[in-house]
Amino acid sequence: MRALVIGAGPAGARCATRLAERLPGAAVTLCGAEAALPYDRVALGRWLSGACAGADLVTHPLAAMRTLGIAFRPATPILALEGQEAVTARGERLPFDRAVIATGSRAIRLDVPGAGLPGVVAYRSFADVAAMRRSEGPAVVVGGGLLGLEAADALAARGLEVTVVHPLGWPMERQLDEGAGTLLARRLQRRRIRFAMPAGLAAIEGEGRATHAVLSDGRRLPARLVVMAVGIRPEVELARRSGLAVNRGILADASLRTSREDVLAIGECAEVEGRCIGLVAPALEQAEAAAATLAGEARAWAPRPDSASLKVSGTAVWSAGEIAPEAESVTLHDAGGDTYRRLFLRDGRLVGAVLYGDTAASGFFLDCIASGRAIGSRADLVLGAT
Ligand SMILES: Cc1cc2nc3c(=O)[nH]c(=O)nc-3n(C[C@H](O)[C@H](O)[C@H](O)COP(=O)(O)OP(=O)(O)OC[C@H]3O[C@@H](n4cnc5c(N)ncnc54)[C@H](O)[C@@H]3O)c2cc1C
């Protein structure tokens, strides 16, 4: 069997590896649009801050892929699938029997005047971080979500002056309620990260390269580096051009098959049961399930509640499930100890949790949310025991 995996991010690289291991006779090809070897995208912040070298992020060295018999083709974006052939951007035609699309997401870039100036980058890829590492700042990070805060912290660790511009009154509002978000902003301010909130980016000024970020309230912040961390969108262009069914992501069933029987979709580009994932653990699970499907096993992938933690040193923040202000909630706040916990309940069951300062009970709360079990005493629950 000729198996073609398109996209050499974490999901694609894992799937290619598992296919090569499970189907020793198969010819497995892994095509990536990026020039780099498959690397740990989740750890980009460590390289950005200077905690490790870029080479340390490589997860699949060439020699290991060769040993498994995987033909790796970097800098080879696939434009479309035509019948049993994949057409590359250079016009080559790669034949396949089964294809797995793992094209991930692309970072959204705000379409403001000056957005195309040198010095304006996204925070998504090896090349983005290489560009960020070349800058001496000052830096403006647009977006105070998980990625924006991680970028701001890493840039501050490099000694750059950093301001985070965020449209709401507290950061990470998708994962944190106002209480935890306010504590987090205060903690980061002590690490010399400034916040402009609530505020939006109106334009980027500069002659030849970015020099200022102009905010919607008219403020002008000096900015030699502007990092857009405003969200991601599933990368579905290849699927669209190939006539596959696409909604927000590439539609796939529980065994990761798309509308075309011999083509699967996994990771952030896929939409399964109405959901596109944005985390690495489920992307890797889908990669395992897709390899099993192609090896002839009936293995279904089922979504679990999302959980997220902030990777900023000295700051423990975790959340899972629904952050549902309209739901009943229980809060535990130890202002002296700088810990905060808020749990969201509906119909006597835990549906979401925010932990700040002390995240040791995260596994317990995730289990309560995933199992949907009935909650007895709220006091016991908030202490992490029921
Ligand atoms: C800085 C950063 C930190 C993160 N931290 C966390 C974290 O702490 N925890 C967590 O769970 N998740 C985190 N994430 C998200 C995590 O990285 C993603 O969930 C994961 O990378 C998804 O893997 P993927 O393989 O589906 O997609 P991607 O990693 O996006 O890989 C897709 C690959 O396909 C390539 N591609 C696209 N189109 C084509 C084409 N037409 N032809 C060939 N190749 C193509 C892309 O260039 C890319 O290399 C982080 C992301 C970033 C950017």
DSSP letters, 1-36, are -EEEEE--SHHHHHHHHHHHHH-TTSEEEEE-SSSS
**Residue 267: inside a domain:** yes
* Residue in the block written with tokens 């005493």: 377
- Residue-averaged pLDDT of the chain: 94
In angstroms, rounded to a whole number, what is the distance separating the alpha carbons of residues 172 and 231?
Answer: 12
DSSP letters, 230-257, are S-EEE--HHHHHTT--BSSSEEE-TT-B
Going by C-alpha positions, the residue among 107, 83, 101, 104 that lies closest to residue 93 is 83
Residues 71 and 98 in one domain: yes
Which percentage of the chain shows pLDDT scores above 90?
Answer: 81
* Residue in the block written with tokens 């696939």: 78
Residues 6 and 84 in one domain: yes
Is 249 a pocket residue for ligand 1 (Cβ < 6 Å)? no
In angstroms, rounded to a whole number, what is the distance separating the alpha carbons of residues 76 and 98?
Answer: 18
The pLDDT of residue 380 is: 85
For 370, the token pair is 């995933």
CATH of the domain at 260: 3.50.50.60
Residues 34 and 55 in one domain: yes
The pLDDT of residue 377 is: 86
Residues 124 and 65 in one domain: no
**Residue 164: inside a domain:** yes
In angstroms, rounded to a whole number, what is the distance separating the alpha carbons of residues 240 and 107?
Answer: 18
Would strands 270-272 and 98-101 be described as parallel, antiparallel, or unpaired? unpaired
Helix 146-157 to helix 178-190 angle (10° resolution) is: 10
Among the candidates 187, 208, 228, a domain finishes at 228
Q: Report the separation in Å between the CA atom of 106 and the middle of ligand 1, taken as the mean of its atom positions.
A: 8
Q: Considering only CA atoms, which residue is closest to atom 5 of ligand 1? A: 42
* Mean predicted confidence (pLDDT) in 92-98: 98
In angstroms, rounded to a whole number, what is the distance separating the alpha carbons of residues 247 and 236?
Answer: 9
pLDDT band, very low/low/confident/very high, at 385 (cuts 50, 70, 90):
low
**Residue 308: inside a domain:** no
**Residue 114: inside a domain:** no
What is residue 304's three-state secondary structure?
coil
Residue 295 clears pLDDT 90, i.e. is over it: yes
**Residue 173: inside a domain:** yes
In angstroms, rounded to a whole number, what is the distance separating the alpha carbons of residues 107 and 115?
Answer: 13
Residues 124 and 222 in one domain: yes
Is 78 a pocket residue for ligand 1 (Cβ < 6 Å)? yes
Residues 83 and 53 in one domain: yes
Residues 348 and 363 in one domain: yes
Among the candidates 208, 228, 248, a domain finishes at 228
Residues 31 and 170 in one domain: no
CATH of the domain at 356: 3.30.390.30
Query: What pTM was estimated for this model as a whole?
Result: 0.93
Residue 298 clears pLDDT 90, i.e. is over it: no
Is 100 a pocket residue for ligand 1 (Cβ < 6 Å)? no
For 59, the token pair is 């997860």
Is 253 a pocket residue for ligand 1 (Cβ < 6 Å)? no
**Tell me: the pLDDT tens digits for 211-234?**
999 999 999 999 999 999 999 999
Q: Considering only CA atoms, which residue is closest to atom 8 of ligand 1? A: 42
Going by C-alpha positions, the residue among 13, 128, 8, 129 that lies closest to residue 76 is 8
**Tell me: the pLDDT tens digits for 97-137?**
999 999 999 999 999 999 999 999 999 999 999 999 999 88
Residues 335 and 355 in one domain: yes
**Residue 345: inside a domain:** yes
Report whether the peptide linkage leading into residue 198 is cis, meaning its omega lies within 30 degrees of zero: yes
**Count of domains observed in the chain:** 3
Pocket test for ligand 1, best of 4, 37, 57, 235 (most atoms within 8 A of CB): 235
**Tell me: the pLDDT tens digits for 183-203?**
899 999 998 899 999 999 999
* Mean predicted confidence (pLDDT) in 28-33: 98
DSSP letters, 114-176, are TTTSTTEEESSSHHHHHHHHT----EEEE--SHHHHHHHHHHHHTT--EEEE-SSSSS-TTT-
Residues 23 and 36 in one domain: yes
Q: Considering only CA atoms, which residue is closest to atom 27 of ligand 1? A: 104
Residues 324 and 282 in one domain: no
Which percentage of the chain shows pLDDT scores above 70?
Answer: 99
pLDDT band, very low/low/confident/very high, at 304 (cuts 50, 70, 90):
confident
Would strands 70-73 and 27-31 be described as parallel, antiparallel, or unpaired? parallel
Residue 386 clears pLDDT 80, i.e. is over it: no
* Nearest-10 Cα torsion for 98, 273, 285, 126: 80
Residue 297 clears pLDDT 70, i.e. is over it: yes
Among the candidates 173, 207, 228, a domain finishes at 228
Note down the domain range covering 220: 120-228
Is 268 a pocket residue for ligand 1 (Cβ < 6 Å)? yes
**Residue 310: inside a domain:** no
Would strands 27-31 and 2-6 be described as parallel, antiparallel, or unpaired? parallel
Is 6 a pocket residue for ligand 1 (Cβ < 6 Å)? yes
Residues 74 and 215 in one domain: no
**Residue 111: inside a domain:** no
* Residue in the block written with tokens 């497995």: 28
